[in-house]
Structure 1
Amino acid sequence: MPVGEVRVGGFGGVRGLVDWLRERAVDLVVDATHPFAAIMTGNAAAATAELGLPLLVLRRPGWTEQVGDRWHWVSSIGEAAALLPSVGRRVLLTTGRRDLPAFANPELWFLSRSVDPPENHPDNVEILLDRGPYTVDGELELLRRQRIEVLVTKDSGGEQTAAKLTAARRLGVPVVIVRRPPVPAADTVATVAAAVEWVRRGSGVG
Structure 2
Amino acid sequence: MKVFLLGGTKDSINLIKHIKENYTSYILTTTTTEYGSKLAKEGGSDDTIARPLLKEEIIEILKEKKFDILIDATHPFAEHITQTSTSIAKELKIPYIRFERPTINFENIGTKNILPVNTFDDAGKLIEKKFKTGNVLHFAGANTMEHITKYVSVERFYPRILKVPSSIEKCEKLGIDKNHIIPMTGAASCEENIELIEKYNASVMITKESGEIGGIIDKIDAANKKDISVIMIQRPVIKELEKKDVITNLDEFDIKIKKILNKNS
TM bucket, shorter chain:
0.7 to 0.9
Unmatched segments (≥5 aa) in structure 1: none
Q: Any conservation in 1 of the 2:76–2:210 contact (CA below 8 Å)?
A: yes
> With CA pairs under 8 Å and 6+ residues apart, which has the higher RCO, 1 or 2?
1
Q: How many residues align?
A: 204
**Measured at CA, do residues 118 and 193 of structure 1 come closer, stay the same or move farther in structure 2, by a change above 3 Å?**
farther
Question: Percent identity, aligned pairs only?
Answer: 20
Contact 1:68 1:172 in 2 (8 A): no
Instruction: Name the TM-score, length of structure 2 as normaliser.
Output: 0.69
Shift of 1:132: 2.0
Contact 1:80 1:176 in 2 (8 A): yes
Map 1:24-103; keep pairs closer than 5 Å. Answer: 24-65=65-106, 66-88=109-131, 89=133, 90-103=135-148
| Cα-Cα RMSD | 2.2
Moved more, 65-74 or 40-49: 65-74
Q: Counterpart of 1:195?
A: 253
Asked if structure 1 preserves the Cα contact closer than 8 Å seen for 2:77 and 2:235, the reply is yes
- Could you tell me which of 45, 52, 58 is aligned with 1:17? 58
| Deviation string, structure 1 residues 108-146 (Cα, Å, up to 9, x no partner) | 711111112431433466211122232211211221222
Match of 1:174 in 2: 229
2:162 to 88, 105, 115: 115
Q: Deviations over 1:153-196 (max 9, x none)?
A: 11111345231211012222111111112241251111133223
| Structure with more of its chain in helix, by fraction | 2
Pick from 233, 236, 242 the counterpart of residue 185 of structure 1: 242
Equivalent position amino acid for 1:119 in 2: E
Aligned to 1:127: 181
CA 107–97 in structure 1, closer or farther in 2 if over 3 Å, else same? closer
The offset of 1:3, in angstroms, is 4.3
**Distance in 2 separating the partners of 1:164 and 1:127:** 18
Normalising by structure 1, what TM-score? 0.87
Q: Contact 1:11 / 1:20 at 8 angstroms: preserved in 2?
A: no
Unaligned 5+ runs, structure 2: 1-40
- Is the alpha carbon distance of 1:4 and 1:111 closer, same or farther for their aligned partners in structure 2, counting shifts above 3 Å? same
